[in-house]
């Protein structure tokens, strides 16, 4: 039975980072109820406000990335701004930052200084190369992390240069690992009563999902390369062209599933053919097998072939664009497209919350703040008790 309680609603988070990796961590925590306070320098917004497509002068990525976040402005380069942040730290559980290592220290906001003010403070730090090591001071973006982590080398087709995935996967992976580390630190704090630093590097986050890349090389002398839509030695697992000029994905590399695929194709004898009967044999004869499958899919429209495959229990599907996502009943049933009211754009669609919790599910309460400092009075006035005169004076001097 669902409750109105959000699982992280007892946590207050200050988000100091910009662009993707740090703020995506904030988004994930905010989805489950943490009070997220997004900090931007006065007069200089997070570039994400203007990234991507826009409508009526409003960037369409920002409301998604900054949903469930309150917006304040604060100049951390000035001593007075640093003092104000330290006041906020007294009432904060977590700080998220993704500046180049050494920036927080330069601003007199090192973890050592802040943890003296609040020993329970958790600082989530995401950077290109981590807080230690010979590369720690280098600038790092997700694209470089994807390259150094090994992902770019295996993405694309063998006759073409390394490619990128169509989303900022390096930043997102780093944010996911940072979120896991953050929640681990929150849990550990229940025992120790102390906070700690969560140090996440972009390249390490990518490298962490690279499966058996290192033992493949060290123990088998094999270097993974770009293979397009296939995995070496794993077949059938590819895309196949259909009669109505559509590609579908079929994954039937397990023995039992492959037998069901052969039945769906009306060629059950293939499952016992020595060339295809085992995982190893199918891997050796991958090209030949893929051609046989595509000969079958080309005789049917995508919808027809998928219906047959589904009936036989063979994993398969269309390659979706936004249009198919919006039309799909599975997405609707799972509430994976949610609409929230935007003050400028009206009803605004965005991805739902992942994962689903049975009793205390997350929630998208509102989109990213359309103006910088929208919640200055709430945070500085109500949380810190600043008077209206002080707020006006701080604003005039560009401290907030």
Residues 113, 246, single domain; the answer is no
In a domain, 345, yes or no: yes
CB-based burial, 132-162: b 16+ in 10 Å, e otherwise: eeeebeeebbbebbbbbbbbbbbbbeeeeee
Which residues form the domain of 310? 237-319
Residues 243, 364, single domain; the answer is no
Number of Cβ atoms within 10 Å of the Cβ of 61: 17
Euclidean distance between CA atoms 295 and 292, whole angstroms:
5
Residues 254, 383, single domain; the answer is no
In a domain, 338, yes or no: yes
The whole-number pLDDT of residue 91 equals: 97
Number of Cβ atoms within 10 Å of the Cβ of 214: 11
In a domain, 165, yes or no: yes
In a domain, 221, yes or no: no
pTM (two decimals): 0.94
Among residues 319, 344, 369, the one where a domain terminates is 319
In a domain, 7, yes or no: no
Number of Cβ atoms within 10 Å of the Cβ of 50: 13
The whole-number pLDDT of residue 52 equals: 87
Among residues 289, 319, 349, the one where a domain terminates is 319
The 10s digit of each residue's pLDDT in 153-197 is: 999 999 999 999 999 999 999 999 999 999 999 999 999 999 999
**Which CATH number is 251's domain given?**
3.30.1540.10
Euclidean distance between CA atoms 100 and 77, whole angstroms:
15
Catalytic residue IDs: 171
Alpha-carbon torsion (101, 105, 107, 113), positive or negative = positive
The whole-number pLDDT of residue 1 equals: 65
In a domain, 6, yes or no: no
Residues 47, 191, single domain; the answer is yes
Residues 120, 98, single domain; the answer is yes
Residues 282, 135, single domain; the answer is no
Euclidean distance between CA atoms 49 and 26, whole angstroms:
15
The whole-number pLDDT of residue 2 equals: 66
In a domain, 229, yes or no: no
Torsion of Cα atoms, 143 then 145 then 149 then 152, to 10°: 0
Residues of the chain with pLDDT under 50: none
Among residues 319, 342, 367, the one where a domain terminates is 319
């Amino acid at each position: 039975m669902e409750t109105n309680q959000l699982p992280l609603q007892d946590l207050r988070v200050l988000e100091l980072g910009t662009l993707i990796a740090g703020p995506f961590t904030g988004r994930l925590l905010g989805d489950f109820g943490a009070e997220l306070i997004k900090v931007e320098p006065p007069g200089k917004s997070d570039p994400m406000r203007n990234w991507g497509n826009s409508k009526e002068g409003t960037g369409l990525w920002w409301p998604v990335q900054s949903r469930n976040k309150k917006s304040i402005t604060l100049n951390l380069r000035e001593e007075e701004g640093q003092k104000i942040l330290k006041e906020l730290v007294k009432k904060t559980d977590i700080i998220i930052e993704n500046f180049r290592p050494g920036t927080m220290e330069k601003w007199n906001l090192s973890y050592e200084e802040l943890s003296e003010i609040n020993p329970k403070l958790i600082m989530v730090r995401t950077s290109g190369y981590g807080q230690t090591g010979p590369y720690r001071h280098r600038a790092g973006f997700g694209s470089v992390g994807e390259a150094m982590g090994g992902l770019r080398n295996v993405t694309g087709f063998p006759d073409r240069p390394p490619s990128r995935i169509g989303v900022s996967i390096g930043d997102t992976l780093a944010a996911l690992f940072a979120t896991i580390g953050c929640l681990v630190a929150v849990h550990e704090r229940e025992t120790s009563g102390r906070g700690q630093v969560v140090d996440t590097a972009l390249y390490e986050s990518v490298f962490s999902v690279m499966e058996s890349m290192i033992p493949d090389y060290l123990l088998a002398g094999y270097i993974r390369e770009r293979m397009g839509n296939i995995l070496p030695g794993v077949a059938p697992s590819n895309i196949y062209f259909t009669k109505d000029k559509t590609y579908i994905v079929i994954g039937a590399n397990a023995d039992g599933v492959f037998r069901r695929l052969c039945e769906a194709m009306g060629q059950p004898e293939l499952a016992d053919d020595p060339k295809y009967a085992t995982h190893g044999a199918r891997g050796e004869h991958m090209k030949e097998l893929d051609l046989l499958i595509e000969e079958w899919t080309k005789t049917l429209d995508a919808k027809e072939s998928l219906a047959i495959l589904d009936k036989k229990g063979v994993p398969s599907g269309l390659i979706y664009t936004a249009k198919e996502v919006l039309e799909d009943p599975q997405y609707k049933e799972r509430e994976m497209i949610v609409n929230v009211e935007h003050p400028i754009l009206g009803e605004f669609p965005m991805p739902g919350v992942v994962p689903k919790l049975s009793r205390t599910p997350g929630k998208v309460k509102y989109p990213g703040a359309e103006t910088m400092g929208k919640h200055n009075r709430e945070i500085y006035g109500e949380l810190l008790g600043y008077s209206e005169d002080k707020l006006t004076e701080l604003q005039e001097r560009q401290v907030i």
